[in-house]
Structure 1
Amino acid sequence: SFASGNLLFLPMGASIFSYLLFGFGVLPGIAIANTLFGYFFWDSWSGLGFPGFTGHVVVGSLAPIAAMLMMRLFNLSNFFDGQKLNFRHVVFLVILTAFINTLSKFFIYMSVLPIAPDPAIFFSTYLIGDMLGGLVFVYVVSRISTFLIKQ
């Protein structure tokens, strides 16, 4: 069901981390990864055709970019202090990305599904899944990479 998402959506964290490290040029790779993940692991647009594809791949790939551009507009995009990751700004980026992603997907899915998803279930699972997945992925990968660099 589209209403029940994943409570630990790690691909959101992978997308955010990729954009942080490599910039917006990785958008095609993120879109391909979202397509493969959605098709093979989650079957996220089962029978919905292009609107389902748009909801998962396009919105999922562009939500971190939209959040980063909004943060840049308000001068909150200092994600690195020298060589260290500024976790306060990254946490805000993850939360903002989760809100953009969840709201966009909700309105897309609400317009194409025969039965509209329950907003309470949809928002609780998608929002929490995106936030937790983003925070866990960024934290774990940054700690592992810091450990490996020191070795």
Structure 2
Amino acid sequence: MSRTPALAALVAIAAVALSACSSGTEIPVIAPQVPAAPVTELERPPGTIVSANSTATLGTVVVDGFGFTLYRFDGDSAQPPAATCAGPCTATWDPVLAADPITIEGLAEKAIGAVQRPDGQAQLTIGGWPVYRHEGDTPGATHGHGAEGKWFAIAPDGDKAAAPN
């Protein structure tokens, strides 16, 4: 009869436990392993998820898989794509990294790309524009839109989001 290593180990533990019970020896209790940190809602699934989301004030904007609005920065470039927000800038504007697989909903596949950041990481682009999350947002919020006159929620084609007509 063949046994898997896990089953063999279980049988051996049971045998030791039974012999310990008959001899009056105490068996040490082994506590279950508990993760060092709690699991949070914001743990990212593998890959990058982006989708189009309709808003009352800005029309259709792009959001990530958790509903956070994505932004473009006028200090960056779309032609050719270039990301310039680095260092202290990233304390407020979190670059959205491009990780495979990239799942898109409501955007043209040709609008999605990536650019190498100054730190060497690949950042997601939409319509050539590198995209970011605003530190002050919650899912569905657009608090970063218009910040410093240079940050704007991004539309599915890479343009600045604008109020619907």
TM-score, length-normalised on structure 1? Answer: 0.26
Q: Structure 1 or 2: larger helix share?
A: 1
Q: Which of these two proteins has the greater Rg computed from alpha carbons?
A: 2
TM-score, length-normalised on structure 2? Answer: 0.24
